[in-house]
C-alpha cells in the first residue's frame, strides 16, 4: 500500500471495511477480529475519526510488538499484514486482514 492509496482511504472515510484509530489499543485488535470474522478490512492507525492525520510515535520494535500482541490475544491466532507509511512527516500504520477461513475468531482479554 502506497501513500496515494492511504490518502484515498482517508478521503473516502470510514466504512464497513475501513476503520481509523488514533493509537494502538485493544480496540484495534477487536476491530481486526470483527474484520476477520466478516469480509476482511483495513485499519489505519494514526488517523482521527474525522480523517485528520495525527500520526503515531514508533520505534523499530513497535509494529512487530503490536503484531505479536494481536497473535497472542486471538484464537485462532490472526496475523494482519502491516505497513508503515509516512504522510506529512507523520507515521501511519496500516493493518489489513483478509476474511479468515476458520471462524469464529475470538479476542482474549
**Residue 48: C-alpha distances to residues 30, 78, 96, 99, 104 (Å):** 18, 25, 18, 25, 29
The mean of the pLDDT values for the chain is: 95
Nearest-CA neighbor of 104 among 84, 83, 74, 66? 74
* pLDDT per residue as tens digits for the range 33-84: 999 999 999 999 999 999 999 999 999 999 999 999 999 999 999 999 999 9
**Could you tell me the CATH superfamily of domain 3-107?**
Schlafen, AAA domain (3.30.950.30)
Q: Are 93 and 83 in contact (CB under 8 A)?
A: yes
Whole-structure pTM value: 0.95
Provide the grid cell at 20.
Answer: 481509523
Rounded to a whole number of angstroms, the CA Rg of the chain reads: 13
Domain limits, the chain: 3-107
Amino acid at each position: 500500500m502506497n501513500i496515494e492509496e492511504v490518502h484515498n482511504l482517508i478521503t473516502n472515510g470510514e466504512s464497513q471495511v475501513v476503520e481509523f484509530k488514533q493509537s494502538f489499543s485493544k480496540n484495534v485488535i477487536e476491530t481486526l477480529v470483527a474484520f476477520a470474522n466478516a469480509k476482511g478490512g483495513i485499519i489505519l492507525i494514526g488517523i482521527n475519526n474525522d480523517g485528520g492525520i495525527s500520526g503515531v510515535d514508533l520505534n523499530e520494535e513497535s509494529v512487530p510488538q503490536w503484531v505479536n500482541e494481536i497473535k497472542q490475544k486471538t484464537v485462532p491466532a490472526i496475523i494482519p499484514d502491516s505497513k508503515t507509511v509516512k504522510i506529512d512527516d507523520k507515521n501511519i500504520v496500516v493493518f489489513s486482514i483478509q476474511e479468515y477461513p476458520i471462524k469464529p475468531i475470538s479476542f482474549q482479554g
